[in-house]
């Protein structure tokens, strides 16, 4: 299992790890936060995470280390506390940790904190976000009702929190897409475990270099306010430029600045439009057969499906 902490504003991977496939996501996140503690220092941090990371242990850790968070909520998490606020969109719940709950906490520091202070207030936000779903040549508007846990104060209203989560966190999905599809992070040239880890980390480092150049190229693109869309550099074009032998050769010659500047200039010239809010249909999508194209031979990249009479329908569970 791979895991990373990603800076959604600067578009770089801050910490990356490879671990046993049965390892849970939350312990991996704690390891990331521990390694980045010194790096974060006194910086203002907002942690964005999806439904798999909802945890009282994580919430208390963030409080202890002055980290703000927005975590998308599972429907059954803190259900008994939330159900009394049926009609409210923005409210606080007060959690009290009993001895059995505290005993289950693995982190000694967090367990001691809960013993000393067994109460915790969590802000719950209910909101909606809308996106355009594209399926073949058709497009339709989809509105989704969502719920979030956060410790941000009232200066951040519902729309701020929904926008922060869905617009900024989407860069994480984009990063995984680049790593999987453009850099082939799941494809290896060896069966040696050390070689596999080295190849994986090499592609992560390459990704960070490419994203730094992407950001510099983006700064050089002049936006036209009369155009319908804003433009960004073509990521695939920059990757192809970095794969060229001249990039490695110039590093060896000690003239990296020259080649990097050339790539930044070239990257800013080939650009693509941003179409905000567009998603390709993922769930309830009809498939005549399970795809077996590139990277899909073993089915790991396929979405969950429900079998029907004439084919398959994708499902989110």
Q: Both 10 and 77 in a single domain?
A: yes
Domain extent, residue 299, equals 282-317
Look at the chain and report how many structural domains it folds into. 3
CA distance 57 to 303: 30
CA distance 86 to 67: 28
Q: Both 213 and 306 in a single domain?
A: no
Residue 311 maps to a domain: yes
pLDDT score at 170 = 84
Q: Both 310 and 246 in a single domain?
A: no
Residue ending a domain, choose from 172, 205, 234: 172
Q: Both 73 and 114 in a single domain?
A: yes
Q: Both 146 and 121 in a single domain?
A: yes
Q: Both 201 and 309 in a single domain?
A: no
pLDDT score at 297 = 43
Q: Both 244 and 296 in a single domain?
A: no
Q: Both 72 and 26 in a single domain?
A: yes
Dihedral sign computed on CA atoms, order 257, 262, 265, 266: negative
Q: Both 97 and 154 in a single domain?
A: yes
CA distance 215 to 7: 13
Residue 19 maps to a domain: yes
Residue 314 maps to a domain: yes
Q: Residue 91 forms beta bridges with which residues?
A: 124
Per-residue pLDDT tens digits of the chain, which is 317 residues long: 889 999 999 999 999 999 888 888 889 999 999 999 999 988 999 999 998 898 899 999 999 999 999 999 988 888 888 988 888 999 999 999 999 999 999 889 999 999 999 999 999 999 888 877 776 667 777 788 889 999 999 899 999 999 889 888 888 888 998 998 889 888 888 999 999 999 999 999 999 999 999 999 999 998 888 787 888 899 899 998 888 767 778 777 878 788 888 889 999 998 888 766 555 566 677 777 776 654 444 445 566 778 877 888 877 65
CA distance 117 to 130: 39
Q: Both 129 and 261 in a single domain?
A: no
Residue 219 maps to a domain: yes
Residue 306 maps to a domain: yes
User: Which of 167, 141, 211, 175 lies closest to 3, judged by CA?
Assistant: 175
Report the DSSP pairing between strands 286-287 and 305-307: unpaired
Q: Both 261 and 291 in a single domain?
A: no
Q: Both 257 and 233 in a single domain?
A: yes
Residue 177 maps to a domain: no
From its phi and psi, is residue 30 left (phi > 0), alpha (psi between -120 and 50) or beta?
alpha
**Taking the model in full, what pTM does it have?**
0.80
Residue ending a domain, choose from 116, 145, 172: 172
- Cα angle 42, 149, 22 (rounded to 5 degrees) comes to 85
Residue 178 maps to a domain: no
Residue ending a domain, choose from 141, 172, 203: 172
Show Cβ contacts of residue 137 under 8 Å, excluding neighbours closer than 6 positions.
Answer: none
HSE-CB at 307 with a 13 A cutoff on CA atoms is 1
Residue 218 maps to a domain: yes
């Amino acid at each position: 299992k791979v895991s990373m902490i990603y800076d959604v504003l600067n578009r770089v991977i801050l910490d990356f790890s490879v671990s046993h496939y049965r390892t849970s996501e939350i312990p991996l996140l704690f390891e990331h936060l521990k390694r980045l503690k010194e790096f974060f220092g006194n910086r203002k941090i907002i942690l964005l995470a999806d439904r798999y990371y909802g945890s009282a242990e994580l919430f208390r850790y963030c409080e202890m280390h002055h980290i703000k968070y927005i975590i998308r909520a599972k429907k059954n998490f803190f259900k008994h506390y939330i159900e009394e606020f049926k009609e409210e969109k923005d409210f606080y719940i007060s959690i009290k940790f009993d001895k059995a709950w505290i005993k289950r906490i693995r982190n000694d520091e967090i367990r001691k904190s809960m013993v000393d202070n067994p109460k915790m207030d969590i802000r719950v936000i209910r909101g909606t976000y809308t996106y355009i779903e594209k399926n073949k040549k058709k497009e339709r508007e989809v509105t989704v009702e969502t719920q979030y846990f956060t410790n941000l104060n009232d200066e951040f209203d519902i729309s701020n929190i929904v926008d922060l989560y869905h617009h900024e966190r989407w860069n994480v999905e984009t990063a995984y897409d680049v790593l999987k599809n453009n850099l082939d992070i799941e494809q290896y040239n060896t069966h040696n475990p050390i070689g596999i880890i080295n190849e994986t980390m090499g592609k992560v480092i390459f990704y960070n270099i490419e994203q730094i150049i992407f950001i510099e190229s983006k700064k050089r693109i002049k936006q036209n306010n009369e155009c319908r869309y804003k433009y960004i550099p073509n990521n695939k074009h920059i990757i192809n430029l970095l794969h060229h032998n001249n990039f490695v050769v110039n590093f060896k010659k000690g003239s990296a600045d020259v080649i990097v500047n050339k790539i930044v200039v070239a990257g800013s010239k080939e650009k693509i439009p941003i179409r905000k809010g567009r998603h390709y249909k993922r769930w309830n999508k009809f498939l005549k057969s399970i795809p077996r194209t590139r990277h899909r031979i073993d089915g790991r990249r396929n979405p969950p499906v429900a079998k029907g009479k004439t084919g398959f329908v994708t499902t989110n569970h």
